[in-house]
Structure 1
Amino acid sequence: MPVPDLMTAELTLTGRITTASNATFLGGIGDTAVVYKPIKGEKPLWDFPDGFLAHREVAAYLISEAFGWNIVPRTWLRDGPFGEGMVQLWQETDPDQDAADLVAADDVPETGWKQVLEGQDENGRIVALIHEDTPALRRMAVFDVVVNNADRKGDHILEMADGHRFGVDHGLTFHSDHKLRTVLWGWLGEALTAEELDGIDRVREGLRGELGRDLAELLTAEEISSLAARCAALRATARFPGPRGEMPAVPWPLF
């Protein structure tokens, strides 16, 4: 049986993710399971007025590819049952893993985890937001700084059975103003590794060539300029930044 062309073969819908803020469908292209977010189903956002969220999702994939870290599943633009939209390869996660979690404050593991903050749950108990201390999640945190991710919720991290971590839902990215909101603050102030710095260098080099030309079809010139500036600033400090400005440091809800 021939392999279907993911750009042109029929995209059929099999379900809808009703918890998503914008229209999000499960579907298939032949035997390949995908997520489909039509541009017509996007809700206007006052703080992201330029372009479409679908374009930002594809731009995030291009940055992931430039890093070489496979953070974002393959993502592309194509036509579908409700018009042009973002299509992304579906990922089957491991339900027994949680890369980020809320636990009782006195149950925070001593090793292998980073604590981000403490707060009270609906029953008044003190709980802690924690996440894994792993190279895979560190790379995602670096990626989020570069793309200026305003919505890295815990459930936007996909835990794969082999330990790989995918990041999804990147519509709120690439704003020219500082918008970083994430649950991955555990490495605040720590020095970046040589591997992480090399990844930033690959993105910077790409922006001067094919990557920059591809992003020009998806983002504004100001957004691309701000992207380059974030890369340069992160490379110069070589450390994970901390929250700044009046923006909340974490998204809400957290998950």
Structure 2
Amino acid sequence: MKLIYTFLVLFVLVSCKKAPTQLTKITAKTTVVDSTVASTTTITDFVAPYKKQLTTKMEQVLSYTPINLTREDGKLQSTLGNLMADMCLDIANPLYQEKTNNTIDFAMFNNGGIRAPIPKGAVTMQHAFQLMPFENELVVATLTGDKVAELVSFFIENNRAHPLSKEINLILDGKDYTLMIHGKPLERTKTYNVLTSDYLQNGGDHMDFFKNPVTLTPLDYKVRDAIIDYFKKTDTLKVSLDNRVISKQ
């Protein structure tokens, strides 16, 4: 009797066991989020104070420019490109000195990294975010003299106003050039500390000369933060096209 009872219990358990569930079909529906979608008052009310706070922050005036700053007002240099390179170096150099007891020789960034112009007038937090919306960070790549020569060749062949800092004086005559760094001719046997972004140092925008440097020093400082900090400490931005890049043709 006990054996029969045990068998019946096992039979019931096995019979009640569900078969494994298998996924046989997936359906999806696309909902377009636009002005035709009615807003939810609860969500709108919840977001409102944060939106107001963000708007107030973005409208904060940091500096002033007496002229329009763009990346297109010169052939091989620009007012905004010059400003970009110079202000990043200004902020980065003390950090690099603290880390290495050395100084930065010059800075180079890419023309495409300048994402928006700054119009004449008040310079706001929003302008800084529009100028550099990415999370790129500043790094210093120590390059050989030969690598710096590759940098110049890239600049000439690319024929764009890639931002170079004022420590550079590059005179172009066709494919020939004269390069001065801090007033001294380029020396192939020396190394040079070049400020750039981590994106470019990894070969972004085809700037492969930044790869495999002699040493690489991350500054743990976002490019955008450097821009904001420079704007905050500079009442009026003084920028012009100068002699850092001169073409004889």
Give the TM-score of the pair, scaled to structure 1: 0.24
Query: Counting helix residues as a fraction of each chain, which structure ranks higher?
Result: 2
Q: Which has the larger radius of gyration?
A: 2
Report 1 or 2 for greater relative contact order, CA contacts < 8 Å, sequence distance ≥ 6.
Answer: 2
